[in-house]
Every structure is written in structure tokens, then in C-alpha cells.
Amino acid sequence: MGTPTAAADMTEVAFHFNAPDKLAYVCRLARKAMRRDARVVITGGAEDLRRLDRMLWALGPTDFVAHCLEDAGAEMLRVSPVVLATHALACEQRDLLVNVGDAVPEGFEAFARLVEVVSQSDPEDRGRARERWRHYAALGHVIVRHDLVLREGT
């Protein structure tokens, strides 16, 4: 993919730092996005996605997030507002990509928005996030920073 001609053509990148529990935060983020009719892909490692799947199923009835895993079949992938996938490109274009993984998600440019969720307590996760930040900045993305500790304290 070549360099976009205007910043408006680029994926909006945001880092949500200091998540006390990354997966619990992603559950809330997915619920909020689904309530706004956004179609979401959450990408990360297979184990994190399995844990996230179980967490989403355990939410209360009023907080339910309709979702599926990437191997659910074409029809389920088409109708599910939230898809958990190890590879973002496994899904049709969606509005929002949420990354809980260690690497820049391949194909993130196909999404309007990308949210990187970063742990509060894991120094290795924070270090890998800094690498991803530098990668996006080198591509010319303007990055929005959301400090979750500051938001909760206000």
C-alpha cells in the first residue's frame, strides 16, 4: 500500500494506556462500540482471544456483546458485530480494530480506526507498545493518547 495522499485517508490510531486489566477493558470497549453500531475486530494472541471470548460470554444479560471467533463460518462472521481474530485480514472490513497483541496488526490500514490497549502493570507490554507507536508514527499517523488512569481519576 502506498502512502496516503491526505491524513484523512489514514487510519486513526489511538493508544489506551494504563489498562489495569486489558481484557476487561476491551470487553467494555467492545460493548460501547457495539451499542454505537460499530463493527469491530479484536486481534491478539490465540490465548488472549479465548480468554476474551469466555469473558464476553460471562457478561450480564444487559451487557451482552454479540461476537464470534474468526473460525465461526462466513455467515456468522458477516452478522456478528464483534469478531475475535488472530489476523485482522481474516475479516471483512470493519469500523474499528482493537489490538491486544504484541505486534502491529497486519492490514490495520483497512480500518477507519485502530485502538491499541496497553497494560498498566506489564513493563514488557509497555515496551512493545512503544515499538508499535514508533511504527505508526514513522508511517505518518497522528496518534491520540488516552491515559486510562487519568480518565478514571477525573
Instruction: Identify the pLDDT of residue 151.
Output: 58
Does pLDDT of 150 surpass 90? Answer: no
Q: Residue 6 above 60 pLDDT? A: no
The residue-averaged pLDDT of 63-90 equals 90
Q: pLDDT tier at 73 (50, 70, 90 boundaries)?
A: confident
Number of helical (H) and strand (E) elements in the chain, helices listed first: 5, 7
What is the rounded average pLDDT of the residues 50-63?
A: 92
CB 49 within 8 A of CB 65: no
Q: Is the pLDDT of residue 12 over 80?
A: yes
Residue 8 in this model has a pLDDT that exceeds 70:
no
Where in the chain are the domains?
A: 9-148
For residue 36, the model assigns a pLDDT of 93
Note the CATH architecture for domain 9-148: 3-Layer(aba) Sandwich (3.40)
Average pLDDT over residues 110-122: 94
Sheet of strand 113-119: strand arrangement: 67-69, 82-85, 40-43, 96-99, 113-119, 12-19, 143-147
Q: What percent of the chain has pLDDT over 70?
A: 90
| Parallel/antiparallel/unpaired status of strands 96-99 and 82-85 | unpaired
**Would you mind telling me the total number of residues written for the chain in this entry?**
154
Euclidean distance between the first and the last CA atom of the chain, given in angstroms as a whole number: 41
| Whole-angstrom distance, CA of residue 116 vs CA of residue 133 | 9
